[in-house]
Amino acid sequence: MSAKDHFEKGIRYLEEVQFLQPLATTWTDLGYAHFLLGEPESGIECAKKGLKVQTRTGSEWFMSYHFRVLGICSFERGKHVRAREQMEEALDQLRKAEVMFLKMKMNYWLKKTGGILGSHKKNKDQAGLYLAEMAIANMF
């Protein structure tokens, strides 16, 4: 059984149980495998399927990956303008995901420091400002 057969078997199982997040990334993984095998057209088809499933998950965490694989395959096909657009979208999606992650991190630490510092509003505000500054510093 070839690697492609294993991917396709996995895709059938994931479709059957509607486990969408792994289904999305598996489609795009298969697209990347096609790219590595010198088949960028098939890679684009698979990555588009992965992106379509990803939009159904309601999660933006992995969007960048799908656009990156689309960009790599488009570049290999000589579609350089399209590849650049897809890579720019991948970067935008990565920034969105990073901001979401930093917000979650900040909320966690605000809750944690709020409990340590007590209920005094001034202490919570100072902790929030400090954490916001740290998050912004970590973005660049």
Report the distance separating Cα 33 and Cα 93, nearest Å.
22
Q: Is 59 exposed, middle or buried (0-12, 13-18, 19+ CB in 10 A)?
A: middle
- Lowest pLDDT segment from 16-25, 58-67, 89-98, 106-115: 106-115
Domain ranges of the chain: 3-139
At 10-52, the pLDDT tens digits run: 999 999 988 998 999 999 999 999 999 999 999 999 999 999 9
Its pTM stands at 0.69
CATH annotation of 3-139: 1.25.40.10
Question: What are the angstrom distances between the C-alpha of 52 and each of 24, 45, 63, 98?
Answer: 8, 11, 10, 21
Token duo for residue 114: 């709020």
* pLDDT tops 80 at residue 59: no
Three-state secondary structure call for residue 79: coil
Per-residue pLDDT band at 122 (split at 50, 70, 90): low
